[in-house]
Amino acid sequence: MRWFLAAFFFAAPLLAQAPSAPSMADLDKARMDISRLEELVREGAVAKTRLDQAKASLADAEDEAVLKRTLFGHLSVQDLTDGQTSEMVAAARRRLERIQPKLETIEKLVADGVMARTELAPVLDELDIRRRTLELAESRARTFKELLDMVESEQEAAARAADDRAATPQWRAAEKFEGSGIFRIAMLRGIEDAYKRKFERELPISAMGMTELHRSLGFDHRDRVDVALAPDTSEGLWLRRFLELNRIPYFAFRSFVRGQATSPHIHIGPPSLRLPRFSSVAGAP
């Protein structure tokens, strides 16, 4: 999984453009301006509404900076934390909420004939950008959670395999069973049912079919399933025997294999090929 984490970056997709976030110097200057406005408000020289507007603008700029750093930055998964992903989604949601009152105000002025309808267009455009940015942030957060779950699942599998590795004769990092060469996701139900009857728990699937993670790495994982079982544990051995009896192809990985496996697991199905734009790199399970 270390190789996987190093390879996968939170590069922003084309769903939204990165905001031109203010610099730290800009934010510091805005905070100083607010401090001066607070003094002027206390002296009665400036209306409080002007101070409120300045505070709202600063909050919006601070949230832009958060998104620039987390959602649109070049942080690897190793650099991100669960707290940062929560902060990212919260910042995107606040920016969407802030545009709503402005839109409602302009809509009322347009309806009253005080403002031209053309004034609505830029606000609606900004609303759409902020809505898509929130959707993107939520998608990134889900991907991050999926990564964490996969890491945990694979670490558990690695721990279960630690003792078995030393006891396995003629130990090999990976084994391949070609079987019929054919596997379809629809065939998974029979495997899951048999496993649950045998072990009274769900089959620990870590990846089923094409996922955002495999797509990001350039692998075509359609009609393939990864199961977080070390191949030489009792459960792993049972699953391998079941697949062999049914002539279902699989790969059994006992350890990390660069470009193919991040940790011990059983890959059900034929090898995962590279997507066309990654075709210069060899395929991997």
pLDDT per residue over 256-267, tens digit each?
555 455 678 899
Say whether 11 sits in a helix, a strand or coil.
coil
Find, among 241, 282, 240, the residue nearest to 264 by Cα.
240
pLDDT at 83: 83
3-state secondary structure of 177: strand
DSSP 106-136: HHHHHHTTSS-GGGHHHHHHHHHHHHHHHHH
Mean pLDDT of the region 4-18: 39
pLDDT tens track for 20-77: 566 777 777 878 888 888 888 788 888 888 888 888 888 888 888 888 888 887 665 5
Q: Is the pLDDT of residue 278 over 50?
A: no
Q: How far is CA 229 from the centre of its chain?
A: 23
User: What percentage of the chain exceeds 70 in pLDDT?
Assistant: 70
Question: Phi, psi (5° rounding) for residue 208?
Answer: -125, 120
Task: Please determine, for residue 130, whether its predicted confidence score (pLDDT) is greater than 90.
Answer: yes
Q: Is residue 19 predicted with pLDDT exceeding 60?
A: no
14: pLDDT strictly greater than 50: no
Q: What single-letter DSSP state applies at residue 269?
A: S
* 95 compared with 218, residue with greater pLDDT: 95
Confidence at residue 217, expressed as pLDDT on a 0 to 100 scale: 58
pLDDT at 114 over 60: yes
Which range has the top average pLDDT, 18-27, 172-181, 207-216?
172-181
Look at residue 78 and tell me whether its pLDDT is greater than 80: no
- Of 158, 187, 170, the closest CA to residue 270 belongs to 187
Structure-token pair, residue 79: 């650099």
- Say which residues have a Cβ less than 8 Å from residue 143's Cβ, sequence separation at least 6: 212, 213
Using DSSP's 3-state secondary structure scheme, residue 222 falls into coil
Residue scoring higher pLDDT (66 or 155): 66
pLDDT (0 to 100) of residue 250: 93
DSSP 280: T
Q: CA 17 to CA 45: how far, in whole Å?
A: 40
* pLDDT-derived band at 5, boundaries 50, 70, 90: very low
What is the pTM assigned to this prediction?
Answer: 0.47
Residue 236 has pLDDT above 70, yes or no: yes
User: In the predicted model, what is the mean pLDDT of residues 193-203?
Assistant: 94
Instruction: Indicate the pLDDT class of residue 4, thresholds 50, 70 and 90.
Output: very low
- Alpha-carbon distance of 275 to 281, in angstroms, equals 9
Quote the CA–CA distance of 176 and 140 in Å, as a whole number: 34
- Give bridge partners of residue 268 from the DSSP assignment: 225, 250
User: CA nearest 16: which of 100, 118, 113, 126?
Assistant: 126
Assign 3 a pLDDT band (cuts: 50, 70, 90). Answer: very low
The residues spanned by each domain of the chain are 2-148, 161-278
For residue 84, pLDDT over 90 is answered with no
Distance CA 216, CA 233 (A): 31
87 has a pLDDT exceeding 80:
yes
pLDDT of 159 strictly over 90 = no
